[in-house]
Amino acid sequence: MASLSMVPDRGACLALLQEQHTPAHIQRHCIAVAEEGLRLGRRLNDAGQALDLALIEAGGLLHDILRLEPDHAAAGAALLLRLGYPRLAEVVAVHMDLHGVLPPAVDEALIVFLADKQVREDYRVTVEQRYGVAIERFPDHRAEIEVGMNRAIAARRMVEAIIGPVD
């Protein structure tokens, strides 16, 4: 499927990660998120959706480009906006929490958000496994973490309503 928006291709995304000195372990995570996003996006498109796979791939590859910065989602989005990628910047800006609101329909931002929540480091996990680690590490923040987990579960259910189980 042709890209519906101007986004950098895989090679350009990988070069951007290098230019921004994104650590290797974060790059591996980004590659795994991009692959998971593409897996979901292809299944959704096969089921009749019209998702921009290039935007999903670029969003996955660059969602954590500035992960070591404070408010890395906003910092990464600002960088991508400066580079002339406004739609990609929108996807990166919401990859942490969708700004607290699920979109009315499955879109590229939701797919990158969900893919990120189904990848720990550089391997696939369930949403519950990913958030379970956070709850164990930060038990004092359990309620806040569970809000994020429930949003990710709701996103997964939106996708599963179209393609069936994602695990």
pLDDT in tens, 14-46: 999 999 999 999 999 999 999 999 999 999 999
62-87 burial code (b ≥16 CB/10 A, e <16): bbbbbbeeeebbebbbbbbeeeebeb
Residue 2 lies in a domain: no
What percentage of the chain carries pLDDT values higher than 90? 95
The mean of the pLDDT values for the chain is: 95
Report the predicted TM-score, pTM, of the whole model to 2 decimal places: 0.95
What Cα–Cα distance (Å) separates residue 30 from each residue in 59, 140, 160? 9, 28, 23
Residue 110 lies in a domain: yes
Whether residue 5 is predicted with pLDDT greater than 90 in this model: the reply is no
Whether residue 58 is predicted with pLDDT greater than 60 in this model: the reply is yes
Number of domains in the chain: 1
Residue 1 lies in a domain: no
Whether residue 3 is predicted with pLDDT greater than 80 in this model: the reply is no
Residue 142 lies in a domain: yes
Provide the pLDDT for residue 167: 78
Mean pLDDT, range 98-120, rounded to an integer: 96
Domain, as residue range, for 86: 10-163
Residue 144 lies in a domain: yes
Bridge partners for 120 per DSSP = 123
Task: Give me the CATH number covering residue 86.
Answer: 1.10.3210
Provide the pLDDT for residue 1: 37
Residue 41 lies in a domain: yes
Residue 4 lies in a domain: no
Q: Rounded to whole angstroms, how far apart are CA atoms 152 and 96?
A: 10
Q: How far apart are the first and last CA of the chain?
A: 24
Residue 102 lies in a domain: yes
Q: Rounded to whole angstroms, how far apart are CA atoms 161 and 110?
A: 14
